[in-house]
Every structure is written in C-alpha cells, then in structure tokens.
Structure 1
Amino acid sequence: MSAPKKRRTAQKAPSQAPQVDLDYSKLAAEILRQQSAAVPVTETIATPAGTTSPSSSASSVRSQLESSAHPVASSSSIPSTESGQQTDPQPSRPLVDSGITSMLDQVFGVSDCVQESTMAGQNTDRAATCLTTDLTPAAICLLQASLSNSSRLAYRRSWHLFLEFQQSTIHLPAPITLLCNFIGELFLRGYSPASIASHVSAISYVHKLLNYHDNSHSFMVRKLLRGTQMNQAPDTRLPITKSILLRLLDAIQHTVPSFCDRIMLKALFLTAFHAFMRLGELVPRSGKESHKVLQRPDVSLSPNVSVSFTLRHFKTNKDSSPIVISIQANPASSACAVAALHEYMRVFTHTAGPLFQFQSSRPVTYAFVSHQLKLAIQFAGLNPAEYKGHSFRIGAATEAANLGFSEHAIQKMGRWNSDAVRRYVWLKSFVL
C-alpha cells in the first residue's frame, strides 16, 4: 500500500513547484516586435522630392468645378467595385529599387522623373522584377520595339505627371480613387480629353507589364474619361483662310525688320498652309526637339514645278513610317509655296539640320514664330486671341472644303486618323 502512495505523491510534485515571476511588459514588447516583423512590406513608389503640388500650381481652374473639387484621396484607400461596394484591396507586392527603375528605363528610355525618383521596397517578389532580371537583351529589344519613339516619350511624360501629382507615396496597383482624382486634376489644368486618355493609358501599360490588376478599365475611370469628352471646351481658334493669309504676308513686311526673317516667315507661313502642317512639325518648341521637325535634307524642290517633303515625325504617325507630301507650283499666285521656298533656299543655303533656320544657323523656334504671327495678326486688324499657329491647318481644311474637296480627301491631306477634321472646317454662309 505504501508504493502507490509514493507514486501519487510524485504525480503531485509538479503542482507544488515554485511559481515563476514574469515581466509582462517585456513579454508584450516581444510579442509586438514579432508581430511587426511578420507584417509584409507594402510596395511604394516615392514621388520626386521638392516638387510642387499640381493642384496648387494650376494656372487655371474651371470656376464651375472649384466648389465641388475634393482633396486627393490617400493612395491606401479601399478601391470600389463597379457596383459601388468596397472590396479588400489587392495585396501590394514589394519591388526592389532597381526593379521598377530599370523597367521604366528600359521600356521608356532614361527619363528625368525616374532619375529624380527613389523607389523603396524589398526584393520579395520575383514576378515583379523579372522584366529586368530574367529577360534577355533580345527580349528587351523586342519589348522596346513594341512602342514607337513618340509613344515612349509620351508615356514617360505621363509617369512624370503621375508621380508629381501624388505628393505622398503611390501604392501599386494604383487605386481607383487615385486614378479618378488624377483625371480630375488634368481636366482642371486644361488638358484635352485625348491627352488625359493618353496619360491614363501610360499608367495602364506599366500595370500590365508588371502583371498588376489594372484599375484604369474600371467603370468609374471609364465614366470620368467619357465626362472629359462631354465637357470639352469648344475650339475658339479661327481659320487662317487664303484671304487672311495674304493679309498676313503683307503685314510681315511692316512688322518684321529683318529682310531675311521676312523671307523665312513667308516661306514658313505658306508651307504650313498648303501642306496642312502643324506648327510643331516645322519649328521646335525647344532645342531638344530640333531633330523632330522637318529637316533640310528631307525637302526636294523643283522650281516652278513642285516641292516634296518627307515628313518623319508627326502626331498621327503610329508605325514610325515617313510620308511624302507634295505641293504643286502656282506661278500665277502671290501665295505660291514653291516660289516662296525657292527664294528662301536661295538666301538660306544650309544643307543640314531643320529646314527653317536663322542666318546664325540656329533653328527657328516655336516661340519666335508665334510672336511674329501675333504681331502680324494685330497689324492686320484681327484679334490675336482667335488666331494661333494651328489656324494655318484649320484654314487649309476650310479652304479645301470651300473648293469642294470631300471629307475623306481632306482627312487624307491633313493626315487625320479620325473624324477630327470636322471640327476644323468652317464653311461660308449662304448669301441670301
């Protein structure tokens, strides 16, 4: 009987062990530390440091929208479905700094916004960085070739705007609220519906490359893009018709003191009109764009016969293929573009660089032509606020319509890929 009693005593021994004093504050701190270590790092893209908020620097804001403008929603907001119900955000996947930066560099080329931006994160997602670490040089070249040079430059500018717009960090995938507010800000700053859609398309492109969910195709974003089209401001630019063009050619004889500049501007005005040229296709806005305008080697002139332009860079050039524009001479007209270009090339004998240059061999700038056009319009007794560089192109379409050319023919002459030409045709009223 004594043995069992000893075993029962042994079993009760642990309950009689002395109690251990615990430091609960240290225990709680250790639990919090372990929980913090287990939280995944979210992917962020830091915006350029030292930039100014676009909403505070916007030059003009539509007065009817000022009272209803809302502050930019945080990028961590919960996105909504098309039915309006909130859903859990898609888990963010962290990226290494070199991953997103190298991807933007390789796809869009080296950009100022990429160089100025810092991208924080940890290397925990192989799928997101495979574009820069796993693709062979041949594959990267093919990826670059999928976009034209103009598209890469445009998408690069779009991402600069997007990073500049959101002063705090941007989480990918970009929430619907952030995209909607970005669209609203661009609209208030006066961007056209086509430009806004292009910027959203650039954001969408990067999301697709990284295999992220693309919120730019959500119902709300599509509706906002449609709203920009419905609220588009009317085009107030008037056409420079042939009669107005003749008045401007007479005006520059009084407003331009330099004889050589008068010859150059006459040739430029007539070329812009007869070739349906955008002013930006003839003269650059900055020195960096000098190679994108019409070049002297791309002009073939046969005096008193015709002139041919090989245009390599223009807005609707989707496949980077050059086109040839020919203008026939009209010796009986005082507004003959061929005769004006022949006289210009006799005085300006350069054989390389942009077609239109000063005597100093510097490219003629967009700002110079715009200023001289304004002075000529004022001298002719017209309102300079109603006539811009694009008025040459509008006037050419209007004159062609008055001469009986079909809409299809005008669209082809002006290199329009859509029915946008309809906005530019101003027909004369019936004489009653």
Structure 2
Amino acid sequence: MRAYRTDWAAFVAWCHAQSVTALPAQPETVSAWIASRLEQGRKAATLARGVAAVSCAHELAGLESFSRSRVVQDALRGMRRTLGTAPTRKSPATVDLLRRMLDIQPDTLIGQRNRALLALGFAGALRRSELVALEIGDLVSQEGGALLTLRRSKTDPDGAGQTIGILNGSIIRTLEHISTWCEAAGITSGRLFRSVDRHGRIGGSLSDRSVARIIKTAAEAVGLDPERFSGHSLRAGFITSGAEAGADALLIAETSRHQSLDVLRSYVRRASLLKTHAGHRFL
C-alpha cells in the first residue's frame, strides 16, 4: 500500500506537469508515463507496479481499469523488451561471510545489537520486516535452541502466526548473541531490536531500512561492496548456505516458510550450479 501510494502520487504529479488528467486517465497518458519513467532509468518491476497502482486507483474510484488496454499493454511489452525482466539479485550473506560480519562488530552496545540482529536474521531466514517486529517474548528457549514465533509476515498477512526453530549453533551462536544484547541493553520486554545512539542510549524500534543499513555497513566493513547486499541478504544467505551444505529443500523451507518450492528451488539451483555440474567427469 505504501508503494502504491507513492506510485500514485508520482503519477498525479507527472500528469499535473503535463497538463493532463490523472483521474480518469487516458491509456495514452499512462503509456506516455511509462515511457517517461523508462527514460529515468526505472526498473521493469517498478514500472509494472506503477501501472498496477494507477489502475487500482481507478478501480477504487469506481472507474473502468485500463490495465487491459492495448496501448498500455504495448507500452509494457516494449518496456520489458528494453529492460528485460530478470530481477536484480543481491548477494547472499552466506555462513562464512556472516561469521566475518559478526567478528568485525565492535564491543559496544551497537555492536552487540548488530551481532544479535545479524545472527538471528540469518538463523531464522528472516525478512527485515519480521526482524524489526519481533518482541522479546516471541523467542522461547528450548533444549538445543529456541522457538521463535512470527506474529505476522509477508506470507501470513492475517496474523495466524508461524513458529520456527532457532539453533544456537557452534559457529554463529545466535542465542548467545541475543542474550548478550538483551542483558547489556537491559531489555526484558517489548521490541527485541531497538535503536542505539552514539552515546549508548536505547531508543525506540528499528525501521526495516535500518536493518538494510546494518547489513550493508557490515559488508563494507569486511571489504565488500555494500551495494551488492540488502535486507534480504540474511534470508538468502541461510537458504544458500543450506543448499551448499546439502540440506533437504523441505527442511530449508520449514525455516524460510516459502509457500512456493519453485521459488526456493531457484536458490538451491544457483547454489549447486557448480557442485552438480554435468562436466565434472570430463571437463
């Protein structure tokens, strides 16, 4: 909804600048807007979402949607031919890289929080929105690890809740990092991850953008290009590391909570492209 509102506002502003009507908009107007955004260097997915947002605004206003208009469809097809439709994939923070990211964190309150966040985001294959929404009570210790309850997520918009297992592990030591952070910050209830200023004062909840910045900063600290990483890198790192270790896809899916195994298989396939290459026996 936030993205749709942003796209709709951009469309209205563009129409105002061009002295054309935004609602109802003519198919030729939408087609021209697509061409304008294409010239600005927008990605294919962003352009397609913008058209969907404008179409949605028309439907909410009781107007006929233009999404099936031949003019608009031709413009979208031309955009796809120009840009292609392959998504821009960010690099996964695999287990070896994550260990370096953890080791580089300073022994400060911010460093302790970052270690806990990076470790849990990886161990639970969590989305950044899921990380910032966690309450301390959502993590319940069990023998051998802990159970983490996700109250709401992208694949659970109705809030039915999903529970996954979190291992402490001998390499990442996720639960130890969380315990250290909570004890140092004096957190006993409420949000698990919070902002910390440069004076060490604890603030309110983190934003999902803060998670992305923490990951990018950690990547840069170990000598990597931060632009290659995003808030999705921890989740992708768990899935990729699991695939590289030969873990069963269904077991990976129990943690990642993928509804479509086809999506999960794309990660597994990328991780095993060289390990299972047909040329191993003769190249």
TM range (shorter): 0.7 to 0.9
Between the two proteins, the alignment pairs up a number of residues equal to 265
CA-based RMSD of the aligned residues comes to 3.2
Cα shift at 1:263: 1.6
Aligned equivalent of 2:149, options 295, 309, 321: 309
Which residue matches 2:98?
245
Deviation track 1:8-46 (CA, whole Å, cap 9, x = no partner) reads xxxxxxxxxxxxxxxxxxxxxxxxxxxxxxxxxxxxxxx
Once the two structures are TM-superposed, the CA of residue 370 in structure 1 deviates from its matched residue by: 4.5
The CA deviation at 1:276 is 1.5
- Cα distance change, pair 158–235 in 1 and its aligned pair in 2 (3 A): closer
Contact 1:303 1:339 in 2 (8 A): no
Aligned mate of 1:401, from 243, 253, 262: 243
Counterpart for residue 256 of structure 2: 414
Name whichever structure is richer in strand by fraction. Answer: 2
Q: Does residue 119 of structure 2 align to residue 275 of structure 1?
A: no
Residue matched to 1:259: 108
| C-alpha distance after superposition, 1:24-76 (max 9, x if no partner) | xxxxxxxxxxxxxxxxxxxxxxxxxxxxxxxxxxxxxxxxxxxxxxxxxxxxx
Task: Provide closer, same or farther for how the CA distance between residues 415 and 160 of structure 1 changes in structure 2, counting only shifts above 3 A.
Answer: farther
1:130-172: per-residue Cα shift (whole Å, max 9, x none)? xxxxxxxxxxxxxxxxxxxxx4x44333321221222234254
Task: Identify which of structures 1 and 2 has the higher relative contact order when contacts are C-alpha pairs closer than 8 Å and 6+ apart.
Answer: 2
Deviations 1:282-317 (A, max 9, x none): 24xxxxxxxxx33344443447531313242x3444
CA contact (8 A) 2:55 2:67 kept: yes
Q: CA deviation at 1:190?
A: 5.2
Q: Once the 2 structures are TM-superposed, how far is the Cα of residue 222 of structure 1 from its aligned partner? A: 2.8
Q: Which of 203, 221, 234 is residue 72 of structure 2 equivalent to? A: 221
How far apart, in 1, do the equivalents of 2:76 and 2:155 lie?
A: 21
Aligned to 1:342: 179
Q: Deviations over 1:167-215 (max 9, x none)?
A: 2342543111211223334445555444433332232233234442322
Retained in 1: the 8 A contact 2:37–2:47? Answer: yes
Give the CA deviation at 1:250.
1.2
State the partner residue of 1:390: 232
What letter corresponds to residue 217 of structure 1 in structure 2?
Answer: R
Q: Which residue in 2 is equivalent to 1:53?
A: none
**Within 1, Cα distance between the matches of 2:35 and 2:123?**
38
Does the C-alpha gap of structure 1 residues 322 and 158 become closer, same or farther in structure 2, counting only changes over 3 Å?
Answer: farther
CA distance change for structure 1 residues 206 and 371 in 2, over 3 Å: closer, same or farther? closer
C-alpha deviation, 1:265, in angstroms = 0.8
2:5 is aligned with 1:156: yes
One-letter amino acid matched to 2:92? P
In the TM superposition, residue 399 of structure 1 has moved relative to its aligned partner by 1.6
TM-score normalised by length of structure 1: 0.53
Please list, as runs of the form range in 1=range in 2, the aligned pairs for 1:24-423 lying within 5 A after superposition. 151=1, 153-166=2-15, 167=17, 168-189=19-40, 191-229=42-80, 231-232=84-85, 235-252=88-105, 256=106, 258-283=107-132, 293-302=133-142, 304-312=144-152, 314-317=153-156, 319-331=157-169, 333-351=170-188, 353-357=190-194, 358=196, 359-365=201-207, 369-405=211-247, 407=249, 410=252, 413-418=255-260, 419-422=262-265
Residues 342 and 190 of structure 1: CA distance in aligned 2, closer, same or farther (over 3 Å): farther
Ranges in structure 1 where 5+ consecutive residues have no aligned partner: 1-150, 284-292
